[in-house]
Amino acid sequence: MKKILFPLIIIALSILGCNHNQININLTDAIRINQLGYYPESVKKFIVADSIASYFEVIDSEGKSIFKGNLIDNGIWISSGEGASMGDFTKVEKEGAYYILVDGKYRSYPFIINSKLYDKALTAAIKSYYYQRASMPIEEKHGGEYARESGHPDNNCNYHPSSGYENGTLNSQGGWYDAGDYGKYIGNASLSTGQMLLLLEQFPDIIPDGSLNIPESGNDIGDLYDELKYELNWILTMQDDDGGVYHKLTAKTFSGFIMPKDYDLDRWIIGKGTAATLNFAAVLAQASRLYKDFDPQWSSVALAASQKAWNWAIQNNNIEFKNPEDVSTGEYGDDYFADDFYWAAAELYTSTKHEKYLNFLKENKEPVKHELTNSWKFFVRNNAFHSLLENIDQLDNNFSNELRQSQISLADEILTELESNPYGIALNKFEWGSNSDILNQAMILCNTHRITNEEKYLDGAEQINDYIYGKNATGYCFLTGFGSKKVMFPHHRPSGADGIIDPVPGFIVGGPNNDRQDKLQVNYFNTMPAKSYMDIEESYASNEVCINWNAPAVYVMGYLQQKR
């Protein structure tokens, strides 16, 4: 493949008011870098796409060149079709503001080196869940310009026949909107909440009271606990009297791009099945131990609901959910339940110490692997592994050693892929929500670092994280409200309908999707797998937001903030 010098967007640097003493310098997004920045002690690498350039410099805020290095040809990345040259300035550790200058002519987007690198981004990624709250207004004192009226009271939801009831209604208020639409889904809610509960289990004080400016701030409980509780309380409403759990709460079809207050479709309680019931059991068992010290009554309620759900699932162990003929909202289908049972048993054992759950784990082993795409369906087993590893002292030596070595082997596989990839990531398969696949890989590495304290796993997690914030084949920072090349038009109904130019901040968008399920409506400029992304509202396949894409971002940024 013939390399072309900087074929992408180039902007005159003089527009930016740069004080570098060379006037003929251009800004290019062909320099793919973490647009947020780096920790002083972290690995600091970037990619120059399709370039014949040979060297680079790091320029500080005063326009001085403080470091020079050679670009290394990493070959062609098959997933993007680009030649990738890599620059490494890990030796630069002084905090400050910088940019990369390539061959004395082309500059990168600005970035910082700072020990509190992800403070604002982490807060925004968690605050995005507040903006997704159903059944309450977003008040100006908490939401600023993104204040909005309440919608979806969900206090009188119809039972769909698939729920097991022919008539009647359910009060199922609260919770988060799942994605760009206004549905609420138990499977995705459980996975996402569980990933962030793990962060609290590891670092209980990571998000102090008052740090998010949410309605519960000031109650002497950490704000992340409060935000997760809003979702957990909704999850509790979705359990039937017999212990089984309803699959989702949605209309029969998706609404248009309207604000919550303008929503006029009937809301339905749809389905009841094994996967939803087990995910419910898992996350409520997990939550019961984390809220026990400051809300013991709620903790007891959660644990009792979890055990009731487990008992129902044991008796109804193969009930698959599929959308009824008259329903076309997100299906979140799942016909493999072994991993769901494993996660539920892991959390119930960790919270109760009852031998029956431990015996179930030993008799029903799951492979320690990372199965790509549909994390709500497949990453539940990794949630189980991470909770067990965090409580490994409760396991006997054989079990704990086997689990520990399997986790390390999985992490080493990810590092091997990362080291062989021209862009320094571990993914060469881009499906719906590819950004969550990448972040889940980083989450695996973080948890492996936690049990080994080996720096290579933390370094790997950081390099994977760089991809999300700009070191990718599109050049976008995939977190709304952040970066220089910003996502402006996510598939997110409030952002599309509120009349505000900037989208609601703090959302991770889905990212490149080679399947492009929306290709009949969206004309993709580039169809290479790692470039199949469009920043337009219509692109639900690549530019939607979703709670399970944000959850691993919250975890990874939070972990890095604690360890760097």
pLDDT in tens, 187-236: 999 999 999 999 999 999 999 999 999 999 999 999 999 999 999 999 99
Q: Are residues 406 and 268 in the same domain?
A: yes
Model pLDDT for residues 344-354, shown as the tens digit of each residue: 999 999 999 99
Tell me whether residue 465 is in a domain: yes
Does residue 26 sit in the same domain as residue 137? no
- Model confidence at 363, pLDDT cuts 50, 70, 90, reads very high
Q: What is the pLDDT of residues 522-544, one digit of tens each?
A: 999 999 999 999 999 999 999 99
Q: Which of 403, 511, 386 is nearest to 442 (CA)?
A: 386
Q: How many distinct structural domains can be found in the chain?
A: 2
Q: Does residue 487 form part of some domain?
A: no
Residues 288 and 421 in one domain: yes
* Residue 509 within a domain: no
Going by C-alpha positions, the residue among 90, 41, 84, 45 that lies closest to residue 465 is 45
Report the alpha-carbon distance of residue 347 to residue 277 in Å, rounded: 14
Split at pLDDT 50, 70, 90, the class of 14 is: very low
Last residue within a domain, chosen from 91, 113, 135: 113
CATH number of the domain at 73, please.
2.60.40.10
335/437 same-domain check: yes
Give Cβ neighbours of residue 288 (< 8 Å, ≥ 6 apart). Answer: 299, 300, 302, 303, 306, 351
Residue 13, pLDDT score: 37
State how far the Cα of 407 lies from the Cα of 232, in Å rounded to an integer: 28
Q: Say what the pLDDT of residue 331 is.
A: 96
**What's the average model confidence in pLDDT over 30-57?**
97
Identify whether residues 437 and 458 lie together within a single domain.
yes
* Same domain membership, residue 207 and residue 96: no
pLDDT (tens digit per residue) in 374-425: 888 999 999 999 999 999 999 999 999 999 999 999 999 999 999 999 999 9
Angle ∠(96,98,103) on CA atoms, nearest 5: 150
Question: pTM of the entire structure?
Answer: 0.96
Domain boundary among 64, 79, 113: 113
Asked if the model's pLDDT at residue 18 lies above 70, the reply is no
Long-range pairs of 301-306 with CB within 8 A, sequence gap ≥ 24: 301/236, 302/232, 302/236, 303/351, 303/352, 305/236, 305/239, 305/280, 306/280, 306/281, 306/282, 306/344, 306/347, 306/348, 306/351
Residue 370 annotated in active site: no
Stated as kind and residue range, the H or E segment containing 102 is strand 96-102
pLDDT of residue 11: 40
Q: Is residue 496 situated within a structural domain? A: no
Residue type, 297: Q
Annotated active-site residue in 142, 247, 449, 491: 491
Nearest to 206 by CA among 277, 276, 294, 126: 126
DSSP-derived secondary structure letter, 181:
S
Does residue 500 fall inside a structural domain? no
Would you state the structure tokens that stand for residue 408, as one six-digit string? 């390390």
Q: What is the pLDDT of residues 280-304, one digit of tens each?
A: 999 999 999 999 999 999 999 999 9
Is the same domain home to 123 and 63? no
Is 69 domain-assigned?
yes
Q: Is residue 521 part of a domain?
A: no
Query: Residues with Cβ < 8 Å from 168, sequence gap 6 or more?
Result: 158, 159
Q: Which domain holds residue 364?
A: 119-476+544-563
- 367 within some domain: yes
| CATH number of the domain residue 245 falls in | 1.50.10.10
Q: What is the pLDDT of residue 326?
A: 98
535 labelled catalytic = yes
Are residues 340 and 202 part of one domain? Answer: yes
Q: How far is CA 35 from each of CA 66, 118, 444, 530, rounded to the nearest angstrom?
A: 19, 11, 23, 18
Beta-strand ranges (E) seen in 171-311 are 184-185, 246-250, 268-272
Q: What is the pLDDT of residues 247-281, one digit of tens each?
A: 999 999 999 999 999 999 999 999 999 999 999 99
Concatenated DSSP letters of 8-43: S-EEEGGGGT---S-SS-EEETTEE--SSEE-TTS-
What does the pLDDT look like over 478-524, one tens digit per residue?
Answer: 999 999 999 999 999 999 999 999 999 999 999 999 999 999 999 99
Average pLDDT over residues 428-446: 97
Share of the chain above pLDDT 90, in %: 94
* Radius of gyration in angstroms for the set of CA atoms belonging to the chain, rounded to a whole number: 24
Q: Is 491 a catalytic residue?
A: yes
If asked whether residues 96 and 125 sit together in one domain, one would say no
109 plus 123 within the same structural domain: no
Domain ends where: 113, 132, 152? 113
Q: For residue 5, is pLDDT > 80?
A: no
Say which of 181, 227, 231, 339 is annotated catalytic: 181
Same domain, 55 and 191: no
Residues 143 and 276 in one domain: yes
Indicate the average pLDDT of the chain.
95
- 152 confidence band (pLDDT: 50, 70, 90): very high
**What is residue 162's predicted lDDT score, i.e. its pLDDT?**
98
